[in-house]
Amino acid sequence: MDKFFLSGTANKLIVTSLLLLSFLAVIPDQAQAQLGFQLNSGSSQDIDYGNPKEYKIADINVVGSQFNDKNSLISISGLKVGDKIRIPGDDISMAVRKLWKLGIVGDVKITVTKTEGNEVYLQIELTERPRLSRYFFNGVPKGQRETLSEKVNLIRGRIVTDALVKNARNAIINHYSSKGFKNCQVEITQEKDSLLANGVILHVNIDKKKKVKIHEIQFEGVTQVKEKKLRKKMKKTKEKHFTHLFTPSKFIDEEYRNDKKNIIEYYRSMGFRNATIVADSVYDHNGKMVNVKIKVDEGKKFYYRNITWTGNYKFNDEMLSRVLGVNRGDVYNPQELSKRLNFNPSGADVSSLYMDDGYLFFNVQPIEVLVEDDSIDIEMRMYEGEQATINKIIVNGNTKTSDHVIYRELRTIPGQKFSRTNLIRTQRELAALGYFDPETIEINPVPNFADGTVDIEYNVTERPSDQIELSGGWGGQFGFVGTLGLVFNNFSLRKITDLKAWRPLPAGDGQRLSLRLQANGRRFQTYSFSFTEPWLGGKRPNAFTVSLSRSIQRLIDYRTNRTNGSLKVTGITLGLGRRLKWPDDFFTMNNSVSFLMYNLDNFRTTGFGGYDNGRSYNITFNTTIARNSIDSPTFPRRGSQLSLSVSLTPPYSKFGGKEFGEPTEETKFKWVEYHKWMFDNSWFLPILDKLVLNARMHYGFIGKYTPSREIGPFERFILGGDGLSQNSFLLGTEIVGLRGYENNSILPFESNGTGGVAYGKYVLELRYGVSLNPAATIFVLSFLEAGNNWGSIDEFNPFVVKRSAGVGARVFMPAFGMLGVDWGYGFDNIPGNPSANGAQFHFTIGQQIR
């Protein structure tokens, strides 16, 4: 066998080749950087590739850099004149890597231009990447381009790299995919900018395609529950169907993943502890829609067997088990168990039992200690800790509202024991003020373990609470109709002498100032003023209110421009309200005394039943007991409102004499006499996160002290429409809305236009919050409504009603209050007024309970 020997030169070539290969391997592949060793003819020595040698850098030159500082590039490379490096060696490859990682070069190589003895001259040769000068979105409406700009984060002047282009493309695809455009295509092309050296224009071409909807959701392996239930648990992944009004069908990957978790959570709430989704697929149906197939392994249904408690000293096992409310044989439901241990919005829970008694550091962990057949034993391992007292209160974010306005609403007082219920109640009270965004009120207990105390931090966000009502229009023959209303809900009388506080009025002390002016030419003017101090004296929540009003209505013959009659009403009301502690502290009581003077001068209208001349005096004492537990005044989701109001005039007919006992036809209404009872109730029940059911019921009755006396024309009830109408014969009348019917159209047939003495009304609304942004809260609604009006209490029948149904929307803006529009359809005819029912549009301002 012949032997094969390599010469020394060949050995050197092989070694040199291996060194070069290993050297190139450490240079990033994507850089495609090159390293060359080129010697000038005047070099005093050659580089021995097989024998790396140490050189001293004599000079470094940079070529190819037009827009970047050469000295900076040399500094970034890590090479500097005077350094000693080995060639070949890692120093050069590291310099290439550093320049490449900078991201501003497209290609880089380092060459040896000359060597003199042990000195070497290096040259960095590079090409620069272009910079972004402009970019354009093509294929999408103008309104979407601003949103896309925020998503892609393309900044003018940045180096355009492959990663930048790829990230921009992915951001756009992800954005439209989250909107249901699963097949969105994005192509980004580059164009050299002739107006800017080294600049490039990006053209982002977008083809959203159509939204991908879901044709069908199929389940496999489902035997223990109804497939209909599983589809309902998929909140955002819905089949295309006309009933899905609030959750339209569209396929979004992230929502689909969340909905698969919802399915498993539902199974486990039904006792199927080991339920899993073993497979699922999403496949094309017809190019525009997809089908979803989910295969489930339900597993076995489990039940509770033994529940034991350890670590409890404050309360015994029997009491804890009673509060927990889980018994042997109940279906295993870890979600419900956690709710009854930690937070149960609809009832008591173990955690509140401890935390309402100061045990802030309390903790309980349910541990499965034994799983046998279909039964599970649970051990409740508890840590009670010590009782914590409140050390200090910290309030942040109130830039307008004074601290004392917030502090007086707090149910958490320094020195008291910690109570979770008081925390939740405080959050509600702060939201009810209307000065802060209820969605962003934060409560942060900060425990101090060393001394067993807790600091409580309240973070609030101010929102505008003052309101302005400004409207105007042409009222046909009646001329211009205008309304100006100003409501300052956070007024400060204390700061009224401080000129710096007038922005536009002094604010921050929680007082309410209301001014309103409404005019309809000469035909109608009304002026009103109201001031409320919610904490009279500053120590107790006793609300004092004073109101003044003046209204004038005239009967005008527009052919001659003469006034043929008028009605003038002047009124003053003083009220004092206070909070009650029984039956619970959600109750309030308000007492008021009011005086109204009606001055009729030839005021011949059907509205007063022939009473057209004279003065009438109405002195009324009113007591209102109310309970309000709703969680938010703008878009309530839970809670209720209850109100019982009684208004009493003196029983003049019992006084006797000519003035009261035997009035003449002209003076029978001089002293207005009645007793009036009003009942209003409203409940809010959450169905989904933003879907709320509201049920309301309203009754009103007017009675008389003496059977032989007739009830006067004042303070009667008129139903129909939006409930806001002001007509020439409606002063001194209770206006009650009933959508689907014309304004003021539902009257007792025999009342001659004076209104009824008894009414009933029922409302069922389904509300959905479109936007809960405090700057503009928006919700839509559908409603069923029914009501009627009777001329005597004997005729009252709560089941004989006028019915309607419809849809509507509400927009709450802090500056204008609640604005609404409804479309209703009245189903029942109104005797004597055949056009009063049917399709009707109604516009509302404010939020009336009736």
SS3 content of the chain, % helix, strand, coil (to 5): 20, 40, 40
Distance in angstroms (rounded) separating the CA atoms of residues 21 and 38: 18
For residue 445, the model assigns a pLDDT of 92
Buried b (16+ CB within 10 A) or exposed e, 589-612: ebebebebebebbebebebbbebe
Cβ neighbours for 551, distance < 8 A, ≥ 6 positions apart: 524, 525, 526, 527, 568, 569, 570, 731
Pick from 717, 759, 714: nearest CA to 734? 717
What residues does CATH 3.10.20.310 cover in the chain? 8-128, 131-207, 213-297, 303-383, 392-459
For residue 18, the model assigns a pLDDT of 44
For residue 28, the model assigns a pLDDT of 40
For residue 81, the model assigns a pLDDT of 85
Pick from 635, 633, 643, 509: nearest CA to 577? 643
Question: Quick check: 401 and 435 in contact, CB under 8 A?
Answer: yes
Question: Quick check: 790 and 802 in contact, CB under 8 A?
Answer: no
Distance in angstroms (rounded) separating the CA atoms of residues 153 and 174: 14
Buried b (16+ CB within 10 A) or exposed e, 46-77: ebebbeeeebebbebebebbeebeeeebbebb
What is the separation of C-alpha 599 from the centre of its chain, rounded to a whole number of angstroms? 49
Pick from 663, 310, 727, 227: nearest CA to 518? 727
Question: Quick check: 397 and 460 in contact, CB under 8 A?
Answer: yes
CB atoms within 10 A of CB 625: 14
Q: Which architecture does CATH list for 8-128?
A: Roll (3.10)
Distance in angstroms (rounded) separating the CA atoms of residues 540 and 825: 48
Tokens of 35: 């390293």
Pick from 109, 106, 108, 146: nearest CA to 130? 106
Distance in angstroms (rounded) separating the CA atoms of residues 103 and 110: 17
For residue 731, the model assigns a pLDDT of 57
Tokens of 417: 């024991």
Rg of the chain's alpha carbons, rounded to an integer?
40
- Bridge-based pairing state of the strands 363-372 and 303-310: unpaired
Tokens of 831: 């005797």
716: region left, alpha or beta (phi > 0 left; psi from -120 to 50 alpha): beta
CA distance to 8, 36, 344, 412, per residue, from 391 (Å)? 87, 73, 27, 10
* 544-566: pLDDT as tens digits: 999 999 988 888 887 787 888 88
Q: For residue 228, count CB atoms less than 10 angstroms from its CB and return exposed for 0-12, middle for 13-18, buried for 19 or more.
A: exposed
CATH (residue range 303-383): 3.10.20.310
CATH 3.90.1150.10, domain 522-845, yes or no: no
Distance in angstroms (rounded) separating the CA atoms of residues 822 and 836: 16
Distance in angstroms (rounded) separating the CA atoms of residues 423 and 439: 16
The CATH number, out of the four listed (3.40.50.720, 3.10.20.310, 3.30.2350.10, 3.40.50.970), of the domain defined by the range 131-207: 3.10.20.310
Distance in angstroms (rounded) separating the CA atoms of residues 204 and 154: 11
Q: Is 376 helix (H, G, I), strand (E, B) or coil?
A: strand
Q: Give the fold, CATH level 3, of 213-297.
A: Ubiquitin-like (UB roll) (3.10.20)
What is the Cβ-side half-sphere exposure of residue 396, based on CA atoms within 13 angstroms? 10
Question: Quick check: 114 and 39 in contact, CB under 8 A?
Answer: yes
Name residues of the chain where pLDDT drops below 50: 1-45, 474-478, 726-729, 849
The CATH number, out of the four listed (3.40.640.10, 3.90.105.10, 3.10.129.10, 3.10.20.310), of the domain defined by the range 392-459: 3.10.20.310
Tokens of 151: 């998503």
Distance in angstroms (rounded) separating the CA atoms of residues 222 and 816: 52
CB atoms within 10 A of CB 141: 7
Distance in angstroms (rounded) separating the CA atoms of residues 489 and 508: 9
Pick from 635, 808, 618: nearest CA to 713? 618
Q: For residue 450, count CB atoms less than 10 angstroms from its CB and return exposed for 0-12, middle for 13-18, buried for 19 or more.
A: exposed
**Residue 830, beta-bridge partner list:** 833
Pick from 712, 762, 757: nearest CA to 737? 762
What residues does CATH 2.40.160.50 cover in the chain? 522-845
CB atoms within 10 A of CB 182: 20
CB atoms within 10 A of CB 634: 21
Pick from 597, 551, 590: nearest CA to 574? 590
Q: For residue 849, count CB atoms less than 10 angstroms from its CB and return exposed for 0-12, middle for 13-18, buried for 19 or more.
A: exposed
For residue 103, the model assigns a pLDDT of 66
For residue 314, the model assigns a pLDDT of 92
DSSP string covering 93-150, please? Answer: HHHHHHHHHTS-EEEEEEEEEEEETTEEEEEEEEEEPPEEEEEEEESS-HHHHHHHHH
- Bridge-based pairing state of the strands 467-474 and 480-491: antiparallel
